[in-house]
Homo-oligomer: A and B are copies of this chain.
Amino acid sequence: MTIPEPAGPDLAGVHAAWLPPEAFRAIGSRHTLVFGEGGLVGTVHDEVARACARYGGRVRRAEAGPYDLVLALTAGEPLPEAAAEVRPAEAVGDEGYVIARRDGVTVVLADGPAGLLYGLFHVVRLGERAFAGERRAEHHRPATRRRMLDHWDNVDVHPVMGQVERGYAGGSIFWRDGAPRGDLARVRAYARLLAACGVNAISVNNVNVHATEARLLTDRLGDVAAIADVLRPYGIRVHLSVSFASPVAVGGLPTADPLDEDVRKWWTGVTGRVYETIPDFGGYVVKADSEGQPGPFAYGRDHADGANLLAEALAPYDGVVHWRAFVYNHRQDWRDRSTDRARAAYDHFAPLDGRFRDNVILQVKHGPIDFQPREPVSPVIAAMPATRLAVELQVTQEYTGQQRHVCYLAPMWREVLGFRPWGPGGAAVADVIGGGDLVGVSNVGDDPYWTGHPLAQANLYAFGRLAWEPRLDPAAVLDEWIDLTFAPVANGDVERSRHTLHAVMDDSWRTYERYTAPLGVGFMVRPGHHYGPDVDGYEYTPWGTYHFADRDGVGVDRTRATGTGFTGQYPPPWSEVYESLAGCPDELLLFFHHVPYGHVLRSGSTVIQHIYDTHFAGAEQVIEARRRWEEAAGLFDPSLHARVKDLLDEQVRCAQEWRDQVNAYFFRKSGVPDAHGRRIP
């Protein structure tokens, strides 16, 4: 029995997150057969073995039973009896598995080693429940092909953005001050956490590719290979963000024109060398012609030309290119009300549908602007039937409290994934990307709690779980996370811990929405760092993010009738629903319409009163969350409790600042007093 060091759960000084040793108690105290061959089967075996070493159980690879748990590949011969009985009629795929229990034996069967690993973590989630009673065979397979985290980590510390762009959890776990950290134990522990929630791909550097990072593709490829070696045992493939200008920047060519023959040869050669070094390399991530990054426009080419260039180089190796659709004019004249940043991705990409190679994945942010707490779903998702799509979510809380505020994002993601672009009878977003990719921007750093705010771990966990199964209920995912993270170590009263966490987290995204920019209008944050309120901060800037508040009203007219016409990018019924002042959902009203302060919402409130009410309520809810957390002091590890308490103090302060600035701003503009006579400063 070998226990690989130091991938175990006891990384010194680092919180175990959702894999504390106690989560393996049920398995570790039983008899398990791990049956089959392959690298990841070894990982499954080692996980069980480590648990058994701690809790007195036993694990074997071949010996006759009896066993409490059988983890077996379907291809194994002869399949152990218990497993043979639940063998599925059809294949469950590379990553799928079947779980069943009969006659006192719990069985996990998988077609491939990765499936066995995911099945193991399913048993971990079940804990003692995995070994109780009977369980009819359940088939599990992931809804998406790739469940991917994009790390916006820089190798060099960026003078403005730091080691991790939009990172709120310390430094990078991969890089420090221009070099690899070397601490691969931390990366290994990360890989294990990700496998446990279903993530199977990581890109290891920022989509804004600077000079040093560009060299990861060439002379610093070894740094990437070292990471790939550590991720591989957990079924995670490594991807790399590359600069479209690489042929010039690191190749010394005079051009990066995608139709230039030397450029094509360069990418072919470079990519070949990548696969010689990392045979299971995942592919490239590209931010092109966006916010100053180079792209095909410089050569009079379009994004299909650009993406296909890289896709062609990757195709022989089954690699993919994630080509981001986040392309817009970031030098807009704020005086020009006809330009609409919300339109940009659709205007750029919809006409290219059908022109992308099969291994191009167009990576679309979930909303049309940029990760605001409330946006409509991007119309691009419904506009490109002949293109493979990935939806990009932001796990790192750039616009949702920066891991100083509790903001459990699964409810928002669930809404996005469940949105039906063609109306109630049509497919959901989750179906559109079914078999495709869900991508999240990572919220992880070298912080002892991984995510800065300890409760932000739940967002990382939920991202993986929703990527695997988009129909999961966010509260149920939270329970999974609580059961793994807190229940085994709860000081006594598990159910009180659970109630506290649900009270603090379940509604935290809507609470955040309440005290920040109202009714979907977005972007009232301080420019640059994006933390805290500044109602007019982006109002007269080139960034295309405006609310147009004046003394009479507020909101962006994106209708076809009188506005920018953005509503026309949606198929019916949404093209009509959003166009209609009466039909538009309240929470998106100011995203689609400019209305007077006295406009009556579907809720019955006026816009101005809604602003006051939600901002008073949101700030109150944070105070209540803090009260609940304080009450639960004895239920949590003291240092974790103290950190969350400190962060809740900051959240209370900041929420009140949001409340007062937004209310004061709109009171000064509208002159309408609060109907309840509350003080607006």
Residues of A within 8 A of B (CB): 334-335, 528, 533-537, 540, 549-552, 657, 660-661, 664-665, 667-671, 681
A540 is contacted by which of B334, B528, B534, B669 (Cβ under 8 Å)? B534
Residues of the B chain whose Cβ atoms lie less than 8 Å from the Cβ of A665: 536, 540
Check B670–A540 contact: CB distance below 8 A: no
Residue from A334, A528, A536, A670 whose CB has the most chain B CB atoms within 10 Å:
A536
- Please give the distance in Å from A323's CB to the nearest CB on chain B: 34
Check B671–A540 contact: CB distance below 8 A: no
A552 is contacted by which of B540, B552, B671, B681 (Cβ under 8 Å)? B671
In the bound assembly, the distance between CA atoms of A670 and B550 in angstroms comes to 8
Check A660–B536 contact: CB distance below 8 A: no
Residues of the B chain whose Cβ atoms lie less than 8 Å from the Cβ of A670: 551
Instruction: Closest B residue to A159 by CB, please name it.
Output: B159
- Please give the distance in Å from A661's CB to the nearest CB on chain B: 5
Check A668–B335 contact: CB distance below 8 A: no
Knowing that A533-B540, A540-B657, A551-B668 touch, tell me 13 more A-B residue pairs with CB under 8 angstroms. Answer: A335-B664, A528-B528, A534-B537, A535-B536, A535-B540, A536-B665, A540-B664, A540-B665, A550-B668, A550-B671, A551-B551, A668-B669, A669-B669
In the bound assembly, the distance between CA atoms of A668 and B665 in angstroms comes to 13
Residues of the B chain whose Cβ atoms lie less than 8 Å from the Cβ of A669: 550-551, 668-669
Which 5 A-B residue pairings sit nearest by Cβ, starting from the closest?
A335-B681, A550-B668, A536-B536, A551-B551, A540-B661
Identical chains in the assembly: 2
Residues of the B chain whose Cβ atoms lie less than 8 Å from the Cβ of A681: 334-335
Instruction: Closest B residue to A549 by CB, please name it.
Output: B668
Instruction: Closest B residue to A680 by CB, please name it.
Output: B335
Instruction: Closest B residue to A334 by CB, please name it.
Output: B681
Check B551–A671 contact: CB distance below 8 A: yes
Residues of the B chain whose Cβ atoms lie less than 8 Å from the Cβ of A537: 534, 536-537
In the bound assembly, the distance between CA atoms of A660 and B335 in angstroms comes to 8
Instruction: Closest B residue to A662 by CB, please name it.
Output: B540
Residue from A537, A551, A661 whose CB has the most chain B CB atoms within 10 Å:
A551
Residues of the B chain whose Cβ atoms lie less than 8 Å from the Cβ of A534: 536-537, 540
Residues of the B chain whose Cβ atoms lie less than 8 Å from the Cβ of A536: 534-537, 665
Instruction: Closest B residue to A657 by CB, please name it.
Output: B540
